């Protein structure tokens, strides 16, 4: 008999979280611990669940205020690392962490800076405790449950086309790389199965 895997997902109600939960929903050997935004203040109690893998998807990309980039991308990640440090020290547990970053982390804008800072917090933490870390700088995700004018250029394009709304192209010469959500889920499933 083998032990069941426990997967903790921050941002569980978001685009990535919803898709990951659905993709592993039928696997009877995996327990999912979903953490939605309203639960972040109590994140430490969820870490005591003996999770094998943490999928850190929590964050914002279309905030009401620019300061929310820092609060929900980098600072939330810093809090997660702090709480994880206490857990790892106490329990001597080895936890794998998967972080959904963005290609924006390469750019000099508030969103990109907050994602890069979050990456740095995670890299420093995982290096200190020799924990496996997977950082995915995702680009232009599309697929089921993506939302127009929020998290998908493809969803926005399709929505505007279907509703006879104008389509804005800021640079017609620029090629964009699209990433299909099910391909990302297949990659995450590989991590779960190999962990």
Enumerate the active-site residues. Answer: 111
Q: What is the DSSP string of 19-35?
A: HHHHHHTT-TTEEEEEE
CA–CA distance, 153 with 140 (Å, rounded to integer): 6
Q: Which DSSP helix (H) or strand (E) runs through 162?
A: helix 153-162
Helices 110-129, 76-91: axis angle to 10 degrees equals: 10
In DSSP notation, 94-142 reads --EEEEEEEGGGGSSSHHHHHHHHHHHHHHHHHHHHT--EEEEEE-SEE
């Amino acid at each position: 008999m083998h032990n069941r895997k426990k997967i903790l997902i921050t941002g569980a109600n978001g685009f990535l979280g919803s898709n990951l939960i659905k993709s592993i929903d039928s696997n009877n050997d995996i327990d999912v611990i979903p953490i939605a935004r309203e639960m972040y203040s109590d994140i430490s109690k969820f870490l005591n669940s003996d999770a094998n893998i943490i999928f850190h998807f929590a964050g914002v990309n279309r905030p009401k205020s620019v300061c929310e980039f820092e609060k929900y991308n980098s600072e939330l990640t810093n809090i997660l690392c702090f709480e994880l440090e206490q857990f790892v020290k106490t329990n001597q547990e080895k936890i794998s962490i998967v972080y959904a970053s963005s290609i924006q982390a390469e750019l000099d804008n508030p969103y990109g800076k907050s994602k890069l800072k979050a990456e740095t917090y995670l890299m420093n933490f995982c290096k200190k405790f020799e924990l496996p870390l997977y950082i995915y700088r995702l680009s232009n995700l599309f697929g089921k449950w993506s939302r127009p004018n929020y998290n998908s250029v493809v969803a926005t394009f399709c929505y505007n086309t279907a509703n006879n709304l104008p389509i804005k192209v800021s640079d017609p010469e620029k090629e964009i790389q699209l990433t299909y959500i099910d391909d990302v889920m297949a990659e995450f499933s590989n991590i779960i199965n190999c962990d």
